[in-house]
Amino acid sequence: MEIASFGQFINWTQDCHARSKLTLFRGQPVKGNLLPSIARQNPKYDSTQLERTMLDQFRLRGVSMLPSVGTNQLELLVVAQHFGLKTRLLDWTSNPLVALYFACNESASADSYVYALASETLVARDAYEKDPFSTPRTRVFQPPMNNPRIIAQHGWFTLHRFS
């Protein structure tokens, strides 16, 4: 759907919220490619062992530089994601205006894209109790609100499985 004005965008987001109990948004300056950063270059490559190794090194080397690196692997993935490590997480927000900012912040003259995800059936309420590398399907989870960036961005994530 093409949206040509801010008013249309607000109406669209209200429609999204009316159709779903939990709508998440993702804004980006490019069309499509809703893959986590670890899978963008080669979606068929099984990166699980590489991710586990990077996460172990992040925990070992980053612990002295960070106030908190999390108590389990999923929390550590969230921290690693926000420090630029390529992970199987994809950032989303519950605030459509945050998504619009990320869609438009690189160029005001080019097309921008905001995606909506009706996610109430994808929420993993037990995400922190399970191995994030063994998820059978893509799931949605809300991270702990212990990071200023996550708080400001109304952060949520999709946790992608390798497939």
User: Residues 39, 56, 138, 46: what is their CA dihedral angle, to the nearest 10 degrees?
Assistant: 40
Give tens-digit pLDDT for 66-123: 766 666 889 888 888 888 889 999 999 999 999 999 999 876 667 899 999 999 999 9
What is the model's pLDDT at position 67? 65
Neighbours of 118 (CB within 10 A): 14
Query: Cβ(76)–Cβ(59) under 8 Å?
Result: yes
Tokens read off for 4: 């040509």
The CA distance from 31 to 146, in Å, is 31
The CA distance from 118 to 51, in Å, is 28
What is the model's pLDDT at position 13? 95
Angle at 13 between CA 39 and CA 33, to 5 degrees: 15
The set of long-range contacts for 120-123, using a CB threshold of 8 Å and a minimum separation of 24, is: 120/20, 120/21, 120/22, 122/158, 123/22
What is the model's pLDDT at position 44? 84
Select, from the ranges 15-24, 70-79, 102-111, 144-153, the one with the highest average predicted confidence (pLDDT): 15-24
Q: What are phi and psi of 113, to 5 degrees?
A: -135, 130
Residue ranges of alpha helices (H) inside 39-160 are: 48-62, 73-82, 96-104, 148-153
